[in-house]
């Protein structure tokens, strides 16, 4: 007789399936709008990548939102390699400015000022009892922010070596001259201290990793850092595919 398999409770996880990536962006923007309406001085944490682009587009077209007293944080940022001249890649600060922050008010915190003091950045994020809303994407290897495989749920905000798979997917190669090999990331501990987490995943290429991370059959594991979100009491997973 085979022992009964234990399954993970997903009590705190809500799956929202929408027809396409734009609908995901629009729905996510409504969550941000609600958050700001309920608490104008919210602490919000924003991701980069292709996935949140429709969200930022939607937010840029919501001039009625009042961002003035909000506190806005980056989720992660590449550590600049030591080299002279212009960088061959876009920093996440430049990305955030271009996609959203240049269009809105609010107090904006840039990770690049805290590479030497990751704990100070984490303290700022945690001020007021933890972030109100952390928005995440997911990497093909299960990373959230740059909490690469091996990251435990109590991992601090820190500088981390990028996984080879991440460098390949983000820069098309393992180590290329002028490109970063390290990043600073908000740690899983700070992410999991959020009142609410919104994970966005769109496109067929994200299906397998989302299914693996959130299957009730798989216990959370540092091999797939996103799987630790299953233990959070208030997570929304917004996708354009069935999980
Ligand atoms: C990057 C970022 C993550 C992001 C992920 C997915 O490496 N560190 O925060 O969620 O990759 O990016 P994309 O949305 O482009 O697939």
Q: pLDDT at position 4, please?
A: 57
Residue 25 in contact with ligand 1 by CB distance below 6 A = no
Residue 170 in contact with ligand 1 by CB distance below 6 A = yes
Residue 112 in contact with ligand 1 by CB distance below 6 A = no
Average pLDDT over residues 12-23: 97
Strand order in the sheet with 71-74: 13-17, 235-239, 196-201, 133-136, 43-46, 71-74, 107-109
CATH of the domain at 233: 3.40.50.1360
DSSP E strand boundaries for 122-189: 133-136, 158-161, 182-185
> Please, what is the average pLDDT of the chain?
95
Q: pLDDT at position 112, please?
A: 97
Is the pLDDT reported for residue 3 higher than 70? no
Residue nearest to atom 13 of ligand 1 (CA): 49
Tell how far the Cα of 128 is from the centroid of ligand 1, in angstroms: 27
Is the pLDDT reported for residue 134 higher than 80? yes
Tell how far the Cα of 137 is from the centroid of ligand 1, in angstroms: 5
Tell how far the Cα of 222 is from the centroid of ligand 1, in angstroms: 18
User: What ligand 1 atom has the least distance to the C-alpha of 205?
Assistant: 16
Residue 166 in contact with ligand 1 by CB distance below 6 A = yes
Distance CA 210, CA 135 (A): 15
Counts of helices then strands in the chain (DSSP H, E): 7, 10
Asked if residue 187 lies in contact with residue 155, where contact means CB atoms within 8 angstroms, the answer is: yes
Write phi, then psi, for 160 (nearest 5 degrees). -130, 150
Is the pLDDT reported for residue 199 higher than 80? yes
Residue 139 in contact with ligand 1 by CB distance below 6 A = yes
Q: pLDDT at position 1, please?
A: 42
Average pLDDT over residues 217-222: 94
Average pLDDT over residues 79-96: 93
Distance CA 127, CA 132 (A): 11
Is the pLDDT reported for residue 5 higher than 80? no
Q: pLDDT at position 22, please?
A: 98
Q: pLDDT at position 147, please?
A: 97
Of 143, 147, 232, 240, which is the active-site residue? 143
At 42-78, the pLDDT tens digits run 999 999 999 999 999 999 999 999 999 999 999 999 9
At 137-173, the pLDDT tens digits run 999 999 999 999 999 999 999 999 999 988 998 988 7
Tokens of 129: 């009892």
Q: pLDDT at position 176, please?
A: 83
223 counts as catalytic: no
240 counts as catalytic: no
148 counts as catalytic: yes
User: Residue 174 — very low, low, confident or very high, per pLDDT cuts 50/70/90?
Assistant: confident
Helix (H, G, I), strand (E, B) or coil at 240: coil
Number of separate domains in the chain: 1
Measured between alpha carbons, how far apart are the two ends of the chain, in Å?
Answer: 30
Domain of 91, in residue numbers: 5-239
């Amino acid at each position: 007789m085979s022992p009964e398999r234990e399954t993970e409770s997903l009590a705190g996880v809500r799956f929202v399936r929408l027809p396409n990536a734009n609908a995901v962006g629009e729905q996510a923007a409504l969550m941000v709008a609600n958050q700001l309406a309920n608490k104008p001085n919210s602490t919000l944490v924003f991701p980069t990548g292709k996935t949140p682009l429709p969200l930022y587009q939607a937010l840029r077209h919501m001039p009625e939102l009042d961002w003035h007293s909000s506190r806005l944080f980056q989720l992660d940022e590449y550590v600049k390699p030591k080299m002279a001249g212009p960088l061959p890649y876009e920093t996440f600060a430049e990305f955030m400015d271009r996609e959203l922050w240049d269009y809105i008010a609010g107090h904006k915190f840039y990770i690049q000022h805290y590479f030497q003091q990751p704990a100070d950045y984490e303290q700022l994020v945690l001020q007021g009892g933890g972030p109100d809303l952390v928005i995440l994407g997911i990497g093909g290897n299960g990373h959230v922010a740059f909490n690469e495989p091996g990251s435990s749920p109590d991992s601090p905000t820190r500088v981390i070596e990028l996984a080879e798979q991440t460098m390949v997917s983000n820069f098309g190669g393992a180590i290329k001259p002028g490109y970063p090999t390290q990043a600073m990331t908000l740690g899983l501990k700070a992410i999991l201290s959020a009142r609410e987490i919104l994970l966005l995943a769109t496109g067929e290429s994200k299906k397998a990793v989302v299914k693996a991370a959130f299957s009730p059959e798989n216990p959370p594991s540092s091999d797939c850092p996103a799987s630790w979100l299953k233990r959070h009491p208030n997570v929304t997973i917004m996708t354009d595919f069935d999980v």
